[in-house]
Structures are given as structure tokens and as C-alpha cells.
Amino acid sequence: MFKVIFIGLFFLFFSFQALAEKKMSLTLSESIGRALDANDEIKMKDEDVHTAEGRLAEIKSLLYPTIQMTTLAIPIYKEIGDALTSVDDKNEWGAWLKSTTTIFQPLYGFRKEKYFKLAGEKGIEAEKEQRQMKKAEVIFDVKQYYYSAQAAYDAMKQLDETEEKLQGVIKRVDELLKMESGEVRKQDAYKLKALHQELKQKKEFVIKGSKLAAAAVAFKAGISSETEFDIQDKNLKKEDFVLKSLEFYQNLAMENRPEMKALKAGITARHALIDGERTNRLPLFFLGGLVDLADTPNDIRPRQGSPYAYDPYNSSNVGLGLGFRWNLDVWKVNAKIKSLKAEYYKLVHQKDFAEKGIPLEVKKAYLEYKEALANIGHASEQLSHSKKWFLQSAVAWGFGVGDTREVLESVIFKGLSDKNYFEAMLNHNIAIGALSKATGTELLSHLKY
């Protein structure tokens, strides 16, 4: 009996777990964190970093000994004799074994290894900063989509409230028309009902917007389309943020923007490659070793007794010594240096452009935030007045002392005020995200990812 109960509970637990996996809701911080872990664009940048690390490993391997071995087994016919006379017998064959091993250990290359190693290290640093650039883009995108979904949910609440009031007015108009009181005209009923249908269309648009925004968050976070995803915090709130001086954010950007760090690392890497290529004009000194062995059965090719007799079929030569390798095609080296210099100066110009453009980008984000902050105040006051206007006109109409045109105008203006308010709130929060991206620093301390 106990075993049956245990098995039932086991299956029940995993059934609930499978159901939970089909539904998911995340906070903004959780959405960003998941996006940074699962986003395919960031994963592609991770592979770029691994590629750069592989290049550095290749550069370091140049300092290790290079060992090459070539071994051949060659069929050969019988031939006996000495250096002066020989007799062959092509009816009898044997094997000629030939093995040559060379060892090449670099010793000194005029700091060649130092320059190329520095280029490889800075290349990795540049790729890591480019990955940070992609992360900043993903973070900003998630914020945009999440705030947009919140704005859509809040807008739906206001539209529901407005629709409820409007339906009450329409009901009252229909009642007065049936009573033939003469207080309203059929045209008034038509206008109100047409406005009601327009309100329903806006609700459909908002529903679509909320679903698309939530789907975009799920896409960025790498959540399967089979999972029913929704945002967890559905209320759009004004982010708590204290604005500092423009100069502060511009200095922050110049210190922390991954673009600047990537360009600085790239410039250093290109300069190191130029210096490394220059060393190719000079010789590379090395310690070299040679092991050369050949063996053939004595009855196929007899071993020659004298070391002065040339015998490629039976021999052993071993040697170790110093040497140097010198590439005398200096015109090819000069051409490569010219190409590397062009890439170097291209990055220098990009850095100069960034030093001028980044402060301007920060200023744009800074001014957009100030505009959004001011618009929240204007939109809040506008929304307050429009709500009072709408409620007073609707209540007055309910008591039979209002004007239909007044109700129509108040409904239209309230809809406009709702739109302006939520846009102002949305733009305020997105502007903080844009300023965070522009400075390369998360400016909202409560976001943990």
C-alpha cells in the first residue's frame, strides 16, 4: 500500500513540475540575467573570444620545439657490390626503411615572440570588450520590451475603466431614447457607440502590443516558444533615479564604454603586430637537431664498410647544433607592414571618432532623460485634469444635466491623456536604460543580473 502511494506522489510531483515548465514569469532583473546566459548573439561573441584565445595559444606554441619526422618503407630490388662494381637481381626484393627527424628550437628572434604574444593578448581583450558591447545591446533591448509590456498592461486597465464609464453613458442614452424624453438625439447615441467601438479597437491594439512585447522578452531570454511566458511585474512604475551632471556621465562613458576599451586594445595589438613583422627582416637563431636513419637487409643492399662510401640505404646520422633562418624577401615583409599600418591607423581614426561621438551620444541620452522626466510632470497633470473632466461630465450626464458633446470630448481627451501619460512613463524608464548603455554602466542599483 505504501509503495502504491509513493509511486502516485512521485508521478504527481513530476506532473506539476512539467506543468510549471510550460509556464514562466520573470522579473526585469531575472529576464536580463537569463538573456545574458542564454542569448545566442552573446554566445556567438563567446566563440569569438575562444577563437582569439586559440590564436594566442598558437603564438605561444612557436616558442616550443618543432619536431618533424618522415618515415618511408620503400620496396627495392637486390643489388650487391661495392662503390666500384655491383650486380643487380630484380627477381629478389626487400624493404628500404628511411626515417628523418628534425628538431627546431627557437632561441632568439629579436623579441619577435614578445610582440606577437602581446598582439594575441590584446586581441583577446578586444574580443571580450566586443562581447560586452553585445551584452549592453541585449540588456537595453530587454528593458525596452519589458517596460513596453508593463505600459500595455497599465494602459489596458485605464481603457477598461473608461469603457465601463462609457457603457453607462450609452445605456442611459438608450433609456432616454426609448422614453422619447427629447433630452437626447439618435445622433448622440450613434456617436457614443461609434466611440465605444473605437475604444474596443484600441484595446485590441494594446492586447497585441503586450503579447508581442512579452514574446520579445522571451526571445531575448532564450525561452522556448512552447513555454507560456509573461512578465511578472505588470505595473509600470517610475524608476527611482537621481540625475547627476552631464560631465559626470561623459567621463563615466570614456572610462567604461566597451567600445573605447576594445579600440584601445585593438590599437595596441595592431602596433605589436607591426613591431613583430619588422623582426621578420632579421634572422631567427635556433638550436637544431637531426636524426637521419636508413636500413636495408644486408642481403639486398650490403652495408658499405667505409664511412666515405656513399650508402643511402644503410646509414645513421645524428647531429645537434646552432643555426639561423633568414627570410631575405624583405619586399614581402615591407608590403605586410604597410598593410598592418593601414589597419592600425584605421583603428586610431575610429578611436578619435569615438572620443568625439561618445560624449555627444551621452548628451543625447542625458537630454532625452530630462525631457522624459519633465513630460511625466506635464502628463500627470494632464491625466488628472482629464479624469476629473470625464468623471464630472459622465456623472452629470447620468443625472440628466450633462451635454452629450461634453461627454464625447472628455472621453476622447482622457484617451489622449492616458496615452501621453504611459508614453511619458515608458520613455522615462527607457531613457535611463539608454543612459546606462551610453555610459557603459548600470545606473539602476536595484537591477541585479
CATH number of 128's domain: 1.20.1600.10
Please give the Cα distance from 394 to 391 (Å, whole number).
5
Q: How many domains would you assign to the chain?
A: 2
Using the predicted structure, report yes or no on whether residue 39 has a pLDDT greater than 70. yes
Copy the grid coordinates of residue 391: 468623471
Nearest of 144, 115, 135 to residue 262 by alpha carbon: 135
Kindly state the percentage of the chain with pLDDT values over 70.
91
Q: Identify whether residues 274 and 169 lie together within a single domain.
A: yes
Q: CA of 337: how far to CAs of 272, 273, 328, in Å?
A: 11, 9, 15
Using the predicted structure, report yes or no on whether residue 353 has a pLDDT greater than 90. yes
Q: Identify whether residues 161 and 92 lie together within a single domain.
A: no
- For the segment 399-424, what is each residue's pLDDT rounded down to a tens digit? 555 666 666 677 777 777 878 888 89
- Burial zone of 21 (CB within 10 Å; 0-12 exposed, 13-18 middle, 19+ buried): exposed
Please give the Cα distance from 233 to 213 (Å, whole number).
13
Q: What pLDDT is attached to residue 398?
A: 58
Beta strand 315-325 pairing with 284-295? antiparallel
Asked whether residue 51 is domain-assigned, the answer is no
- Burial zone of 17 (CB within 10 Å; 0-12 exposed, 13-18 middle, 19+ buried): exposed
Select from 296, 325, 354 the last residue of a domain: 325
Average pLDDT, whole number, for the chain? Answer: 87
The pTM score is: 0.80
Q: Identify whether residues 118 and 264 lie together within a single domain.
A: yes
Please give the Cα distance from 99 to 41 (Å, whole number).
50
Q: Identify whether residues 220 and 339 lie together within a single domain.
A: yes
Name every residue whose Cβ is closer than 8 Å to that of residue 60 and which is 6 or more positions away in sequence.
117, 120
Using the predicted structure, report yes or no on whether residue 87 has a pLDDT greater than 90. no
Q: Identify whether residues 214 and 321 lie together within a single domain.
A: no
Kindly state the percentage of the chain with pLDDT values over 90.
56
Asked whether residue 220 is domain-assigned, the answer is yes
Using the predicted structure, report yes or no on whether residue 331 has a pLDDT greater than 50. yes
- For the segment 100-118, what is each residue's pLDDT rounded down to a tens digit? 999 999 999 899 999 999 9
Q: Identify whether residues 95 and 235 lie together within a single domain.
A: no
Contact call for residues 333 and 280 (beta carbons, < 8 A): yes
Q: Identify whether residues 347 and 211 lie together within a single domain.
A: yes
Nearest of 47, 20, 237, 67 to residue 124 by alpha carbon: 47
Using the predicted structure, report yes or no on whether residue 128 has a pLDDT greater than 70. yes
Asked whether residue 304 is domain-assigned, the answer is yes
Chain centroid to CA 436: how far? 16
Torsion sign (Cα): 69, 72, 73, 77: negative
Half-sphere exposure of 284 (CA within 13 A, CB side): 20
Q: Identify whether residues 191 and 247 lie together within a single domain.
A: yes
Q: Identify whether residues 142 and 234 lie together within a single domain.
A: yes
Copy the grid coordinates of residue 120: 594575441
Please give the Cα distance from 22 to 15 (Å, whole number).
11
Annotate the chain with three-state secondary structure.
CHHHHHHHHHHHHHHHHHHHHHEEEECHHHHHHHHHHHCHHHHHHHHHHHHHHHHHHHHHHCCCCEEEEEEEEEEEEEEEECCCCEEEEEEEEEEEEEEEEEEEEEEECCCHHHHHHHHHHHHHHHHHHHHHHHHHHHHHHHHHHHHHHHHHHHHHHHHHHHHHHHHHHHHHHHHHHHHCCCCCCHHHHHHHHHHHHHHHHHHHHHHHHHHHHHHHHHHHCCCCCCCEEEECCCCCCCCCCCCCCHHHHHHHHHHHCHHHHHHHHHHHHHHHHHHHHHHHHCCEEEEEEEEEEEECCCCCCCCCCCCCCCCCCCEEEEEEEEEEECCCCHHHHHHHHHHHHHHHHHHHHHHHHHHHHHHHHHHHHHHHHHHHHHHHHHHHHHHHHHHHHHHHHHHHHHCCCCCHHHHHHHHHHHHHHHHHHHHHHHHHHHHHHHHHHHHCCCCCCCCCC
- For the segment 258-300, what is each residue's pLDDT rounded down to a tens digit? 999 999 999 999 999 999 999 999 999 999 999 999 999 988 8
Q: CA of 393: how far to CAs of 22, 72, 410, in Å?
A: 47, 102, 7
* Mean pLDDT along residues 72-85: 86
Q: What pLDDT is attached to residue 397?
A: 60
Q: Identify whether residues 236 and 320 lie together within a single domain.
A: no
Using the predicted structure, report yes or no on whether residue 5 has a pLDDT greater than 50. no
Instruction: Please give the residue range of the domain that contains residue 218.
Output: 109-283+329-439
Q: Identify whether residues 173 and 240 lie together within a single domain.
A: yes
* Mean pLDDT along residues 349-363: 96
Q: Identify whether residues 128 and 170 lie together within a single domain.
A: yes
